[in-house]
Structure 1
């Protein structure tokens, strides 16, 4: 399975179009990716060429993208690059699509508030968990007192995890 995986950083150029299909939810939007370079003559950053990609999302990613993205949002998209050539009205057209695996807001250019999506069959609404947050920290066993030496401390932590 040789696939071309890409990571594109750009802006949402069109409002996401959401569809419920027999195979599950699907969403698509256009992504504008503009290169920037340092222009020594102007002594300033300058916009270069803009590439447009059609981003396709499926299943839960489609639902979340349609609910979260709007025109102009800065995003990072990771997925499989698909270059297609179509002949319409005697003219050959080439398009580049990205079958998205992950989509997220670009936090280098703004803030975002994450809300966990409700899982099928879950009673609570998105953002109101039905179970308490799990305790992520592992309590230290009484027999595994923390050694003062940092190297021995790391060995003790590894021994606790395994």
Structure 2
């Protein structure tokens, strides 16, 4: 799940980096809007619009990550409902969410996370600890970290 590069591990051991937070957990969002598999697609769409988010984690009653639902998943369902002339009101997200979810370790170096975003072409990664969803890191969180750390040598 979480792979640290040698450079990331070395940085965290150095004296000067101790005062500079470089871990994903220092920048991730902990207060997440989550969904449950039995929620309707319409209720998810309302939440996405209301909260101005493009997707979110789906958790079970134990706060274990079981999937992710996105705007794209909802749009696909709208399209299929219209094509097959089927009502959408009672459809739950369980069959429409992405289930094969890639997560990253909260202890991962923020720069390694930036690379992971580039390679995976994802907008966000959930962070799981001991099987429970604890947060999410987005591309925007990585940008914020870069702006906070711009006085460091890597920026110049």
**TM tier, shorter chain?**
under 0.3
Structure number with higher relative contact order (C-alpha < 8 Å, ≥ 6 residues apart): 2
From the two aligned structures, give the one with the greater helix fraction: 2
For the pair shown, the structure with the greater C-alpha radius of gyration is 1
From the two aligned structures, give the one with the greater strand fraction: 1
What TM-score does the superposition give when structure 1 sets the normalisation length?
Answer: 0.23
What TM-score does the superposition give when structure 2 sets the normalisation length?
Answer: 0.24
